[in-house]
Amino acid sequence: PHPSLCCPPGGPQLGPKRPGRARSLLGNQRKRRKSATPDPKEKQTCDIRLRVRAEYCQHDSALHGNVFSNKQDPLERQFERFNQANTILKSRDLGSIICDIKFSELTYLDAFWRDYINGSLLEALKGVFITDSLKQAVGHEAIKLLVNVDEEDYELGRQKLLRNLMLHTAP
């Protein structure tokens, strides 16, 4: 389950979407780093991907009265309604942000993971993403913030930093 929080009406403002180019460049850099053979004497790092997404808590009011069809055939009518609902829901996308966070210390990685699990990270990010301008943009509608960190990324990163710690503390 993803931690989420519904915020009172007048919720968050995420900036404009970034061009797709940055993501593909980052992906290429990430692949290059993983394929290189690490120097055992060099301090290793791990990347943890943080995903933050703002969403409306309810869509009923936007869909109610705006999705209809005069088609006689039930299948055509259902398809037309689906397309209309899909268009409305896509237009309500508030966007998301993906951050790759680099950790070189196990204690910091574990603290980050604890904050994610216990909801502290969500609370902290709520203050950053749920801005007055976003609240103004969405008007009376409630918004929730979704925060996700992949547990597998955390476990792999933890193993890597633990090996790092053992190599550098061994006599």
80: in domain: no
140: in domain: yes
CA 115 to chain CA centroid, nearest Å: 15
81: in domain: no
73: in domain: no
Tracing tokens 């929730």 back to the chain, one arrives at 144
154: in domain: yes
- Contact partners, residue 118, CB within 8 Å, separation at least 6: none
Q: What is the pLDDT of residue 155?
A: 96
Tracing tokens 């990270």 back to the chain, one arrives at 121
83: in domain: no
pLDDT string in tens for the chain (171-residue length):
444 444 444 333 333 333 333 333 344 444 444 545 556 567 789 999 999 999 998 888 888 888 989 999 999 999 999 999 999 998 888 889 999 999 999 999 999 999 999 999 999 999 888 888 888 888 878 889 999 999 999 999 999 999 988 876 766
Cβ atoms of 54 and 145 within 8 Å: the answer is yes
Q: Which of 89, 118, 88, 115 is nearest to 103 (CA)?
A: 115
Q: What is the pLDDT of residue 40?
A: 58
Question: Rounded distance, CA 147 to CA 97, Å?
Answer: 10
Tokens of 31: 């692949």
Q: What is the pLDDT of residue 78?
A: 94
**Structural domain count, the chain:** 1
What is the domain range of residue 133? 4-13+44-58+96-169
pTM over the 0.75 mark: no
